[in-house]
Structures are given as structure tokens and as C-alpha cells.
């Protein structure tokens, strides 16, 4: 199975990525996580993204707050799918990061999840990798069935409560 590269613009983004790490581990997806900045270490980020495919990665996930150019910078240097996670900051509650991540020019796509949407980034990465991995497809099917069962159970509890 190909690996997932997780890039964060700062070590302060780490807490927002915990759901991503848990989801990747739950799916048994190998990953690496690195701190790289589109602004402070642009050559490092460029070199990493440029070599990601030959280094065994299948997806790049980039999380950043504020100006949040990391996902776009990575996408500019690879043909791999890039998923952006806008990270909530104290300044504009993550809206700045969301707009910086999602508003990419034509030819440089970044799939963008919600502000602090690390869990969905992990699921999306799994769905992409599942195109070539039947075992991962089965794990995703099980996850969806489990979600259905959880909602049905919650509905039953509500119905009992309101009777």
C-alpha cells in the first residue's frame, strides 16, 4: 500500500491532526508526518512534494492555518492528489485558511476538507488509496455500515425518550 504524507505548516497544528493520525492508524495506512512551511521552508516543501511519488506516497495531506499555502505549494510540485486541511487560528477562526486552501488556480487542484476537518481528510485519503486496495475498500464499507448502525441506535434512543 502506498503511504500518506502529512505535512503541517507548524508544530502548533499537531493537535488539530490527531483525528487524522487515528483514522490512518485505524485503516492501517502507513504515513509520515513532517513540519514544513510554504513560506519559511519553500525549497524543502517543494523538494518533498516533487519526490513524493518516487518515495512511495500515494496522497499528500497538508494542514496549515492563516495564509495556509502549504497544500497549494505541494500541489504545484506533484501530480499526486493533495488534500488540504485548513487549521483554525485565533485570528479569523480558520476562514482565512479555508479560503487560502480552497481557492486554487486552474490546473493546481487541492481537495479541501472543513476547517479542522482532519478526520475527513483521513477518510478521503483512504478512499483514494482504496482504488488499488480491496482490503482498504472493505474497511471503508465496514465504516459506513457502522455509521448506519450508530445512527439507527441513536434514533431508537430518541424514540424511546420522546414516548
The structure's pTM equals: 0.95
Kindly give the interhelix angle for 118-129 and 134-162, rounded to the nearest 10 degrees.
Answer: 140
Residues 6+ apart with CB under 8 A from 85: 16, 17, 20, 61, 62, 63, 64, 71, 101, 112, 113, 116, 117, 118, 121
**pLDDT for 15-44, tens place per residue?**
999 999 999 999 999 999 999 999 999 999
What confidence tens digit (pLDDT) does each residue in 81-138 have? 999 999 998 779 999 999 999 999 999 999 999 999 999 999 999 999 999 999 999 9
Q: Quick one: cell of 89?
A: 487560528
Cell numbers placing 13 = 497544528
Domains of the chain in sequence order: 3-132 (3.40.50.1970)
- Classified as helix, coil or strand, 110 is coil
129-151 average pLDDT score:
98
Amino acid at each position: 500500500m502506498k503511504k500518506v504524507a502529512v505535512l503541517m505548516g507548524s508544530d502548533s497544528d499537531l493537535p488539530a491532526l490527531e483525528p487524522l493520525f487515528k483514522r490512518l492508524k485505524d485503516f492501517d495506512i502507513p504515513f509520515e508526518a513532517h513540519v514544513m512551511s510554504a513560506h519559511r521552508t519553500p525549497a524543502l516543501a517543494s523538494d518533498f512534494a516533487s519526490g513524493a511519488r518516487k518515495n512511495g506516497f500515494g496522497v499528500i495531506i497538508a494542514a496549515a492555518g492563516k495564509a495556509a499555502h502549504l497544500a497549494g505549494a505541494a500541489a504545484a510540485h506533484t501530480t499526486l492528489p493533495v488534500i488540504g486541511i485548513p487549521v483554525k487560528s485565533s485570528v479569523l477562526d480558520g476562514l482565512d485558511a479555508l479560503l487560502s486552501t480552497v481557492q486554487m488556480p486552474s490546473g493546481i487542484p487541492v481537495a479541501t476538507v472543513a476547517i479542522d476537518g482532519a478526520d475527513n481528510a483521513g477518510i478521503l485519503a483512504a478512499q483514494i488509496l482504496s482504488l488499488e486496495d480491496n482490503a482498504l475498500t472493505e474497511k471503508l464499507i465496514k465504516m459506513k455500515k457502522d455509521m448506519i448502525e450508530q445512527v439507527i441506535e441513536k434514533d431508537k434512543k430518541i424514540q424511546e425518550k420522546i414516548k
